[in-house]
Amino acid sequence: MIGFFSAISAVLFWTFACSIWRRESKNLLPRQINIYKNVLASILFLPIGLTISWVSDLSSIFILMISGIIGIAIGDNLYINSLKIIGTRKTLSFEALTPIIATSVGKLSVNEIYPQKVWLGSFIVSISLLMIVRQNTSQEEHSREIKVLGTLCALGSVFCAVFAALLSRIILTSSTLTPLQTTEIRLLSASIFLFLIFKKDFCDLISNKAITKQNHSNLILSTLLGTNFGILSQQIVFKFLPIGIGWTLLSLSPIFALFISKGEGEKINKLTIIYSLLSFIGVGITLI
């Protein structure tokens, strides 16, 4: 039950944060938003670093650093680019691929055994979310090239997220590191990586006078929810649930995004609602 409630919490936190990051992408570059949220989140969790045995857990920390760089620094950068291009709901809907990918990866790489109902539930969720993303609900017009770019960014972020989650799952189940500690290690490594790659953007963020107090307030709120609480909740999920089941639950973001889609210029039709209900049935089959 801890894993289930953590997954639902992570979905809520992440969906709300994504809507804010999309709005703020009109004022900042996606990589600047990624830098802002990761640096702030790692600073907020900095006291946790004092509880980590950096020498004795060196091998586990190294793997978590790779997880942070791939999943947070690179994956989230692709994710926010996708948010800016194709919107919150459609970006989240590409997570339709995640349950099947994660279940397969869990089976092949860490030999997690899933009963047939998990495969069936993951398949139903994947198909339902794929059908949701096929619905033409957007009132904005984009060129084919822009749509392709947004799609590639969304798909890239999915593969980065699954691979990073697998590394986290391995460490959380084989070491004494807690979800809170693994979250801070991943955030710190992502922040350092982004600083080394985008030093100029760090300076621009500090000197950018066009960023208003409201922009800062929005980014701080979204960081607390989507990055601090969201990633922490996600780590708890991977601590207590197999990666396939965990990602099936975490893939419900598009359903919650329906509640904010109107504000982003989208209309929700009956088919979208039907497929959303079907995805919940898929989750139910997975968990029963």
Residues 57-80 have a mean pLDDT of 92
Residues 284-288 have a mean pLDDT of 72
**What per-residue confidence (pLDDT) applies to 206?**
74
Backbone angles phi, psi at 176, to 5 degrees: -95, 0
Cα torsion 82, 88, 91, 92: sign: positive
Residues 174-189 have a mean pLDDT of 93
288: pLDDT strictly greater than 70: no
Residues 214-220 have a mean pLDDT of 89
142: pLDDT strictly greater than 60: no
The rounded mean pLDDT for the chain is 81
**What per-residue confidence (pLDDT) applies to 201?**
83
Share of the chain above pLDDT 70, in %: 81
Identify the three-state secondary structure at position 7: helix
Lowest-pLDDT range of 86-90, 140-144, 212-216: 140-144
> Is the backbone of residue 287 left (phi > 0), alpha (psi -120 to 50) or beta?
alpha
| Burial (CB count <10 Å: 0-12, 13-18, 19+), residue 154 | buried
12: pLDDT strictly greater than 70: yes
Lowest-pLDDT range of 19-28, 68-77, 131-140, 267-276: 131-140
pTM: predicted TM-score of the whole model, two decimal places: 0.79
139: pLDDT strictly greater than 60: no
CB distance 74 to 254 below 8 Å: no
56: pLDDT strictly greater than 70: yes
Reported as a pLDDT band with limits 50, 70 and 90, residue 190 is: very high
Secondary element (H or E) of residue 23:
helix 2-24
